[in-house]
Amino acid sequence: MVEKDQIIKEKLDHTGLFNFAELYGFMHNWLNENLYGVNEDKYSEKVTGNVRDISFEWKATREISDYFKIEYGIKVEVLGLSDVEVEIDGKRKKMNKGKISMEIKGVLIKDPKNNWDETRPFFKFLRELYDKYIMPSRIKSVEDKIESDVRAFKDEIKAYLELTGKR
């Protein structure tokens, strides 16, 4: 049976100026550059007058080996998104104003292809031995990678939002 362990959950909130389209692309590019495949599981947009509420969910995955797969669940909710024009270095630029909330979950998936079929007791026993005695240091290093990648992703987004909001 495929085993999923949530390793880390980070949240990020930002209210102010940002460019939503650029942020969306920035996040997608960061994941692709770090070798994660991205699937958009959900996207919804509600328009009320000149204000939009947007929410989307991504699953970003990366196979580390036949036995390990990393999965990030990314939920983003943007409330009160409106278009504004700001002056930056004497030039007018179109940006967005609103509140963005984000949740990033880092999950370690063991045996994603279900090679250690746990419906057979002998394989279940072997897998428990494998995880407990042979693989603990490898499991720990993958868990550490998940934690550092999730924190790095969050920090990059935070820095991007702070940079675009201060221009």
Digit-coded pLDDT (tens) for 17-74 = 999 999 999 999 999 999 999 999 999 999 999 999 999 999 999 999 989 999 999 9
pLDDT for the residue numbered 8: 97
Q: Which of 155, 108, 97, 150 is nearest to 131 (CA)?
A: 108
**Average of per-residue pLDDT across 103-116:** 90
* Least reliable range by pLDDT among 22-36, 52-66, 88-102, 120-134: 120-134
Residue 88: pLDDT over 80: no
How far CA 67 is from CA of 1, 22, 111, in Å, comes to 12, 35, 4
Residue 30: both structure tokens together:
């960061």
Kindly indicate the confidence band of residue 1, based on its pLDDT and cuts at 50, 70 and 90: low
- Helix, strand, coil percentages (3-state) for the chain, rounded to 5, are 35, 50, 15
Domain layout of the chain by residue ranges: 3-166
- Among 24-33, 97-106, 110-119, the least confident range: 110-119
Q: What is the pLDDT of residue 54?
A: 98
| Full-model pTM | 0.89
